[in-house]
A and B are shown apart, each in its own frame.
Chain A
């Protein structure tokens, strides 16, 4: 079980969907690099070694790769605490694209039980992130195969930046506020003559009024448009209402490695050949941008020199 990324230790890769750890993740190779090389020929840069590359498109049904970024994790030193780097639980809200996971604390060192109790028995660090599903990421997961070939699998599930979520603080605070409110109520009930009591009475009266209003409102609002929440508020509401799907985090050995590898390594056995020329490809990618620009013949400047 190795969650290790030599180049960029902050972006370990975890594949979601019922399993597993990532094998030897080599490095992220961006699609553009290839494109670039075509674009500008580098002189004085001899070829040292050629590595076969397998592009393995993954069927959306069978597996989704998702890239998790731990924004608060430090570059060095985390490898010592491997335990705390494996999430305990993993919750995913597919509609609102929110991920929540919990990294367990190292309880043997620097762990304060009392504080944990204060926060409802907090067991780990809560991380939360919104999945970014932009096509622009161009991220691939790379694996070095048995013969030294590179297998590239596109990250299809999106990328997420995980940030600490201090929900437990909010929860404690909300509870406290609730409790205080209740206490105030009770206090008021015990001493009906006091100011607080009268206020409470007022409030109750107001509540009654309010309920009456509500009845009126409903009668009226049948004719009127229902107030709509827009944009971010709607999304937020959606998230609050959505029930999270819980996933298990499987350690290496707890799943069928071979099968997963099979899925990942399946490149269909075809040799990819570019059907387009570089210019055409750029045109496709740039699309509308070139629409306004003047059309140029592919060979570029045949100028009059």
Chain B
């Protein structure tokens, strides 16, 4: 590498700086500039929240809160046989016993051991139960009903709250974000899933058909269903899956108890005469059907209900069916238990009102793609769905078992239910493990099958893992070509990263969280409801129908359901916010006003995206220098800002109610908030790019994809890991031009790339199409050198007949040297650490017993007993070699060998093989600006151009890469980097900020360089000065995982497919190289028919056939079975595929006859 590279010592110092509270050359006594230093809130935020806090929060919520709710909802197990029996779950805990400390979970196997031993990192689930044994009631504590996979770094994980030292002891990387599971040794992430929000009304319209519909997806623990209120030809109906036909809305409302037309009109239209006109036609509909009373309406609906009766449920009359439909089926998330249907009636009326409003003013439709209408489903929610399903199944199995035993009239001993509950505990454990390891979420009660929920955590690089944790996948179908859901929504600002999305089919559907995003968990509704009434909202069930929709009355909606009304919405919202800022209400409850709907919406549900902002009051930021000083002095944490009402979380909807200033100088009297730091609109991955605001936007997107493929350090424990495939960079460097995000995500501690000295110039012709010229001396010094580690696993199986696999020792030749195949093996039959291993040599000399499949009972054993001598003789032949052999174009070294016992008491051997690779022609590199290129030529240093100081570049890049890509950020990186090198500092290229280009130019000029970063270079070959000044300086280059060694492939002869006898396909199967249609066209056009014949037949699947010229069909061995003669047989060569086709045609009664004639 060039001499300008930062020396290691400097890097270390910079590294130390970061650990100090003193930062960027500022000490505690320095004056604090609020405007500039408020970004310090961000590290404080990340210190508390971490990068994957959303996953951890969600999991913690599930384990601590949701689990209890699930158990409470399913707490009783009753027997159908014995009415006196019951079992009741009192409590559930994960990881600690009733007398244990919830904050100190039981010591589990450390996660790294689970990784190595292919185990599941899990903790026992304990329940307390109360049940009857005979006449006695017994309480039993700490009954284990299964094991719950533990999310790393969650509050049930042993890594929670550990210091760096303790982490090292546990073989764990302190920078590893956690948030994933270890199931059967593999790291699995449950990706964040994006969904349309539940239990909210969404109004949509189809302009062509003139349909307006309001729909709500009701979701409760028991059921999920969708209710529509839909307008057709001006009339409004209610539609639901379990009602066979659309029901006129007036009938539904009457069934829900709003019998008088007056009240219906009041609830739907209020006093607006336009709405009344639109709606009035619906009254006719009901009166035409002769339905006036609630009973008539209920019976009408009851007749239309599709009855699905479950076992044991009584047969219902039509009236009861109707009542049941209204009470539980329609808008299922509001379940009516008593006789008061008003809440539900109001909800349906509200839906109808929204439809009427939209019929009048089509602009009032909702946007499905709007981020405020989306909810993110995290690991916790998904696990809770799964667990509830498994828990129900567990209870059902238990109950079935109980009934079976209790049914027996006479039992020897007193029945103890506890003895029978443990049988099923494996179901819960296995169910959870299976779902996480396969990613198939199948929920019986919703009849839901979802595949691909979990993914293997990518450990290609630290950033790849981090990027995966912040990823959001959409439920939307990838194949559909729609732009709406893929487009960047303005409402995503600050919540989702605008740059980080894949290209191609998943573009815009897979998103990433921005740096400061938080995802809410569920908040209890009841206290908030109470608070609303306290703040002056009038309870909806007491409010008068006539007043609900009068002008100036605002509905108060909690999680989409109207709970009250208020005449003073502004005051109401203000007070509510006031209480939230005082910490009386959870910080994650959002409130906003919607003037179009005359509504105040309060949201307390989980899955909303929100982010913190600084509160501005009276035109002044609430955060003052003093606060930041406290933060710096470690007196305050981020939560203190929250609790003192200086900072608050806003979700997307509430953001719309606010005026947020980007910078302090933008504050106007109406401003309500100010951004903490503008660059937080980017995510963790896009945050690596220096000066991204100067790049063309797709370039940033490309870099986001490539940053995840860069080879680098993956964790402090990388050498302890045994992963299937591990790429490590040998000498990674932190970038000269970093960003604040880089420091925050600790990329500078686990970097992936080198600071290469780049000359932007043309050199030879081997730099076309973005190819790079590499300096051989740089490569010798370690530029781009990486290690590839590959895991090979073998299990020594045990068989039912008490035989088992063994590892046998090495075999030696006459001279006592091991034979070639066994060269790498040691005495124990396993490859020795450090030994080189060539293709064809084995690393585990495993032997399988040849009689493994023989049954346990029967012949051989008896024989053995009778003839023990013979058995001993047999012993040698009993095993058949089944070694693990290394195959590869290049030799490897044995890095680690591990032998352990896995889950099922079978010995598990893992051998890690290592290759060290230096860059070669065709290896892929990229800068951090979406500029990728392959190595086109490696040039000796003496042939490289050099500058006055004798500096020669590591990389020569062709200038044609710039004009069309417009990656100005890359040029700025070079200039800043060069200035930094000369000055001895690390420079910043933070988005919307960073080191100023003018300052950098000044530094360059001061140090005697050109202000623009251009140098005079001399040709390495001739020694003449180059005719132009060359743009020359350090740029951070990443080595990408695509390497020639893994891709090179050629074949002369090789395997063929059985059916067609054509060469196999693909590198992994040593396949042939296809001469495709387009190549064929070229050959035809060129007229090289013999080449065509050779390529398509002779080199592929030539086959000699005997053709009978009499019948034109194929014969064999010079004999035509049709004509029963060998008279007219002609031999010729055709493709085997053609022969196959003929035979297939014959098999379906088509006779293809070949009529042959001479061409010449």
Contacts and interface: CB of A to CB of B under 8 A. Distances in A.
Nearest to B639: A294
Contacts of B798: none
A287 B530 CA distance: 9
Contacts of A276: none
Contacts of B580: 293
A70 to B, nearest CB: 10
Interface residues of B, number: 73
Interface string B312-333: 1110100010011011100000
B646 A303 contact: yes
B531 interface: yes
A299 B81 CA distance: 61
Interface string B530-545: 1101111001011011
A224 B403 CA distance: 11
A293 B583 contact: yes
Contacts of A138: 533
B587 A293 contact: yes
Interface in A217-236: 223-225, 227-233, 235-236
Interface string A24-37: 00000010110110
B534 to A, nearest CB: 5
Interface string A127-164: 00010101011110000000000000000000101011
Contact of B314 (A96, A159, A229, A290): A229
Contact of B328 (A159, A231, A304): A231
A137 B644 contact: no
Nearest to B536: A32
Interface string A1-30: 000000010110000000000000000001
A233 B536 contact: no
Contacts of B313: 227
A66 to B, nearest CB: 12
Nearest to B604: A289
Interface string A155-188: 0000101011111011001000000000000000
A232 B259 contact: no
Contacts of B586: 289-290, 292-293
B260 interface: yes
Contact of A232 (B293, B327, B583, B646): B327
A98 B339 contact: yes
B257 interface: yes
A271 interface: no
A39 interface: yes
Contact of A32 (B260, B292, B534): B534
Nearest to A93: B339
B296 A295 contact: no
Given A130-B338, A285-B534, A293-B583, A233 B327 contact: yes
B260 A72 contact: yes
B627 A134 contact: no
B262 interface: yes
B579 A136 contact: no
A102 B686 CA distance: 72
B339 A10 contact: no
Contacts of B642: 294
A296 B644 CA distance: 7
Given A132-B541, A232-B336, A223 B80 contact: yes
Nearest to A72: B260
Interface stretch (B129-137, B280-288, B520-528, B766-774): B520-528
Given A282-B579, A285-B530, A293-B587, A166 B292 contact: yes
Contact of B643 (A282, A289, A296): A296
B263 interface: yes
Centre residue among B313, B339, B533, B642 by max chain A CB count within 10 A:
B339
Contact of A169 (B293, B316, B342): B293
Nearest to A8: B544
B585 A286 contact: yes
A71 B259 CA distance: 11
A288 interface: yes
A130 B337 CA distance: 13
Contacts, number: 193
Contacts of B624: 303-305
A40 interface: yes
A32 B337 contact: no
A30 B531 contact: no
Nearest to A298: B582
Nearest to A11: B544
B1153 interface: no
B334 to A, nearest CB: 11
Nearest to B525: A289
B1131 to A, nearest CB: 79
A294 B637 CA distance: 12
B626 A303 contact: yes
Nearest to B326: A232
B693 to A, nearest CB: 33
A300 interface: yes
Interface in B307-364: 312-314, 316, 320, 323-324, 326-328, 335-342
B630 interface: yes
B644 A301 contact: yes
Contact of A225 (B80, B260, B583): B80
B258 interface: yes
A239 interface: yes
Nearest to A166: B293
B527 A286 contact: yes
A69 B538 CA distance: 15
Contacts of A33: 536
A72 B262 contact: yes
Of A96, A137, A166, most B-chain CB atoms within 10 Å? A166
Contact of A170 (B295, B324, B582, B629): B295
Contacts of B81: 223
Contacts of B336: 231-232
B541 A289 contact: no
A304 B531 contact: no
B259 A224 contact: no
B257 A163 contact: yes
A289 B528 contact: yes
A289 B527 contact: yes
Contact of B524 (A132, A137, A289): A289
Contact of A235 (B260, B337, B542, B579): B337
Given A71-B260, A97-B339, A232 B328 contact: yes
A301 B583 CA distance: 11
Interface in A75-89: 75
B645 interface: yes
Contact of A300 (B293, B542, B582): B582
A72 to B, nearest CB: 5
Given A290-B585, A295-B643, A296-B582, A233 B323 contact: yes
A233 B534 contact: no
Contacts of B417: none
B646 to A, nearest CB: 7
A278 to B, nearest CB: 11
Given A69-B544, A166-B293, A292 B533 contact: no
Contacts of B292: 166, 169
A10 B546 contact: yes
Contacts of A36: 535-536, 575
16 contacts: A96-B339, A130-B339, A134-B539, A165-B294, A166-B259, A166-B294, A231-B336, A232-B328, A239-B339, A285-B534, A288-B524, A293-B587, A294-B587, A301-B646, A303-B622, A303-B627
Interface of A: 8, 10-11, 30, 32-33, 35-36, 39-40, 69, 71-72, 75, 96-98, 130, 132, 134, 136-139, 159, 161, 163-167, 169-170, 173, 223-225, 227-233, 235-236, 239, 282-283, 285-290, 292-296, 300-301, 303-305
Given A30-B536, A32-B536, A161-B541, 17 more contacts: A71-B263, A71-B545, A75-B546, A97-B338, A166-B292, A169-B293, A231-B328, A231-B335, A232-B327, A235-B337, A287-B527, A287-B530, A289-B586, A294-B583, A296-B582, A303-B622, A304-B629
